[in-house]
Chains A and B, each alone.
Chain A
Amino acid sequence: MSSQIHDLGYRPYEGERAGVAWAVRSLAVHSMRRALGLKRAGRHKIVPTLTIGFAFLPAIVMVGLSLFLSGFSLDDLFSYGDYHGFTSFALFLFTAAAAPGVLTTDRTSGMLAMYLASPLNRTTYVLAKGIGIFAVMFLVTVAPIVFLVVAYTIVGAGPGGLLDFLELMGRALLAGAISAAFYTGLGIFVSSIPKRWGIASVSIIAALVVPSIVTGILTEGAQAPDWVAYMSPAAMMGKAWEHILGDVSFNGLAIDRLSGSLVVLAAVAYAAAFLAMTWWRYQNVEVDR
């Protein structure tokens, strides 16, 4: 029996066609994959893998210590609210790698013109990119603290009852989601400005680290008013975590003297402002056609 290859030629598409929401979802998923280095060369996977590992490391160490050291309690080392401080370095690195990788390259590779020639427009494009980055930020903001809460509960070192567990889980999710939104907003806004990936990455690190140093000097050394601490992303997010997870510490710093609720609101406002500025930037960005 012989076989034949038939040239089917061009076949019209008669199936269903989804709308803009499907396009947003498709671009968000594509952006998540690119941020994580999936279906890309090995070197693109290094930074995401390491930073996600760093974000989980404190939780893994704590759970390990609880398992192998009898009588060890989380309170011996740090509270849930301190977790952001232990992982902020990983968060900074992850933001600096993920956001520029999915935004600047679209402008330099000419993909932006192709995206805007699809059902997406400038607004839905920014929305899709924001959703994609926000989703991957969960891996370094929400996932580690959720892992810690669940693991502690399993080994018997977590909250006592179901209600306490659910409350703690809710607080952990809220803290993680707010920081994911904050870092997503900052990351996409800074990435919307320069054309080069490297400049955007360095700028994100600078935007996260420099204000913390400057506000620290101003408030603690130069007696500047306490509200200046609102300009320090790291201090603000740390305070927000402590406030949400109910583990407020007081070290006598300017950020400690600010209202926890206002700091949380400020973090949300920052995220919204960054998103709005990114949207505005993309209404005017020149498309390489």
Chain B
Amino acid sequence: MGFTRRGVLSAALGGATALATGYRPAFAQGAPIKVGILHSLSGTMAISETTLKDVMLMLIEQQNAKGGLLGRKLEPVVVDPASNWPLFAEKARELISKEKVSSVFGCWTSVSRKSVLPVFKELNNILFYPVQYEGEESERNVFYTGAAPNQQAIPAVDYLMSKDGGEAKRWVLAGTDYVYPRTTNKILEAYLISKGVAPADIMINYTPFGHSDWQTIVSDIKKFGSAGKKTAVVSTINGDANVPFYKELGNQGIKATDIPVVAFSVGEEELAGIDTKPLLGHLAAWNYFQSVKDPANDAFIKAWKAYKKSDKAVTNDPMEAHVIGFNMWVKAVEKVGTVDIDKVIDALPGITAPNLTGGVSTMLANHHITKPVLIGEVRADGQFDVVWKTSGLVPGDAWTDHLPGSKDLEADWVTLKCGNYNTVLKKCG
């Protein structure tokens, strides 16, 4: 309901934030390079997106301290789309046409990304999208620094099927009812069936946003898990509904050792505000965890805590994605010596940037990046213990190999210049 009215109110607040963050050290020459930040600072998504705005401001501040970019200062332009999908498009238009930004870092939900896509195509600008998503997309103007399904969902399922993961034979795919869980679960279902899992051993369940009464579903899961086969839950349950879900699991006595839950949307940020007792031992699949010991990560966490002036500030996966995306953009701009949109878009594939878990990520021709996949276990302090990790970096696959419609599609913006090239029909689109 009523996102529109809320949006009007909070857009004003967002504008005020943008004004407050300006500052000016001395720079050699030229007008500042503007960088757009398009994250909700109010409304339901503010819970996740506010920190992404902050991390961008910090990265820009750090870059300016290093002397800016091409000898020019970077200037952040913050707008607040207020968790309102149509407003995302409006704000994107404002950033590009009015503020003339050189790139935009933003969006969280898939629907917000879909909403701004036409704007970015029409006005030709660059969007860095930092969140794990359902894939099935590759656009010339968008660079996807979050995980595609083959960089999160598929490896997580592989882990649960392995000996260490408990050799799960029966699967509950539980998700919130919107595009990301539905597509991910469709891919996972096809993948599981291809691995020899009987359709009767897969239970798919969707719940509305913010679902808080999990009694029936948890008791169903318990019943489903009593078929004499090891059962695991793959959760694409979104943000707010997770806490009551795990609480109910704990209350009904389902332990992680009986039925483990692997979540794709529960990170450090989400755990920061909750009682972790019912979650202990449950799993999450990401490409980054704050607990990973690595010099680059330690430095980033230290800088972040100093920037937030709080020792309790946590880091998470989408933040790392923005770090990688921002560094790649900086490198690409330095490489071509200009912020010209077309030149930067062409320069980005092939650019590498260190990720925070000890590897070097590469921007691929399909505008996705290579990432390691990590499985972490919830600890009492709200952090994750990494219990499993892919041996190398996994390249992001825009079009999944497990669905009939997208199996034959390929995205390649370098040689094919196409986001959905059909390898059977040998044509684009």
Our verdict on whether A and B bind, yes or no, reads no
